[in-house]
Amino acid sequence: MDRERSHIESYIESSTHRFILFDEPNQDNYMNFVEIMKKNNCVNLVRACEINYDANLFTQQGITVHEMAFRDGGIPSPEIIDKWLKVLKQSYTQNNEKPDIKTTIAIHCVAGLGRTPVLVTIALIEDGGKPLQSIGLIRDIRKGAINKPQLEFLKKYKPTAKKSCIIM
């Protein structure tokens, strides 16, 4: 039985990255996600939840799956943040190799309302966005995103490097 997706994919861009935010794909509907990712020149998928589908479904389609699971409703560990920042840097490098094509990162957790928005908000802050503005942008496109502990964490999050940001 094909599980209905609770949320249509959401898109957000910063000056250096594009993101597609999803809820969790499964064995039955993963090709819908692959089609959206290919249409958006997306070769990186971040799984921010437990393993509930075979990553080979995506790798066989030329998509790299990055594992970054952390507790539902929680905040990412420093190790997860470091892994996320490395994917951001890799994506930015890909953007510089093909300046006319902006590489996109797809990211999901189970519902696409907690862990996914937290990681994307970190990326926006790393790009120079202000925490509350970045949180607001995410909540505009993902209603119900980011719980109170996550909100408090993001309000205090400090970027690792100074950059300018233009959010489109």
Q: Is the dihedral of CA 21, 26, 28, 30 positive or negative?
A: positive
Q: Is residue 157 part of a domain?
A: no
In a domain, 71, yes or no: yes
Task: Establish whether 100 is a catalytic residue.
Answer: no
According to the model, what pLDDT value does residue 100 have?
Answer: 60
- Rounded Cα–Cα distance for residues 162 and 168 (Å): 19
Report if residue 53 sits inside a domain: yes
Cα 80 to the chain's mean position, in Å?
13
Backbone angles phi, psi at 104, to 5 degrees: -110, 145
Instruction: Give me the catalytic one of 23, 42, 49, 109.
Output: 109
Question: Does 146 reside within a domain?
Answer: no
Whether residue 130 is contained in a domain is answered as: no
Domain containing 87: what range?
A: 10-112
pLDDT in tens, 73-99: 999 999 999 999 999 988 776 656 665
What average pLDDT does the chain have?
85
The reported pLDDT for the residue numbered 158 is: 93
Separation between Cα atoms, residue 155 and residue 131, nearest integer Å: 5
Segment 18-44, tens digit of pLDDT: 999 998 888 888 888 999 999 988 889
The one catalytic residue in 72, 100, 127, 140 is 72
Residues 6+ apart with CB under 8 A from 80: 68, 70
Domain membership of residue 123 (yes or no) is: no
CATH code of 18's domain: 3.90.190.10
pTM for the full predicted model? 0.85
Query: What is the spatial order of strands in the sheet that 64-67 belongs to?
Result: 10-13, 18-22, 104-108, 42-47, 64-67
- Buried b / exposed e over 145-161, threshold 16 CB at 10 Å, is bbbeebbebbeebebee
Res 61 pLDDT > 70: yes
Residue with tokens 């719980």: 147
Give me the sign of the Cα torsion angle 25, 43, 116, 99: negative
**Count of structural domains, the chain:** 1
- Would residue 119 count as lying in a domain? no
Looking at the domain assignment, is residue 86 inside a domain?
yes
Confidence of residue 146 (pLDDT cuts 50, 70, 90): very high
Catalytic annotation present for 2: no
